[in-house]
Amino acid sequence: MWSDEFETVLRTHLPLLAKEEEVDPDAALARLGLDSLGTVGLLVELEETFAIVIPDESLTAETFATPRSLWGTVEQLAKAQVR
């Protein structure tokens, strides 16, 4: 579904997700403990890890709603950087 790098970064910002628990692609990130400060940290770490810039228009509740929606944005931006 997504890269190991993405999952590693994501897990560090989800304090309510047990280490042995799988990441449900459709789980609400807020229910897994992602708060506003965590969102900023996650944003910065994803940009650094994937050498992308998430544009302002993508900084929405929908983008950060679930792992699936966030990965979709990251993947799209990373692929655009390769071209």
Would you kindly state where each structural domain of the chain is located, as residue ranges? 4-15+25-82
pLDDT tens readout for residues 24-60:
999 999 999 999 999 999 999 999 999 999 999 999 9
List, as one string, the DSSP characters of 19-76.
TTSPPPTTS-GGGGT--HHHHHHHHHHHHHHHT----GGG-STTTTSSHHHHHHHHHH
**Residue 20: helix, strand or coil by DSSP?**
coil
CA 42 to chain centre: 6
Per-residue tokens: 69: 């929606």
Domain spanning 4-15+25-82, CATH architecture:
Orthogonal Bundle (1.10)
pTM exceeds 0.85: yes
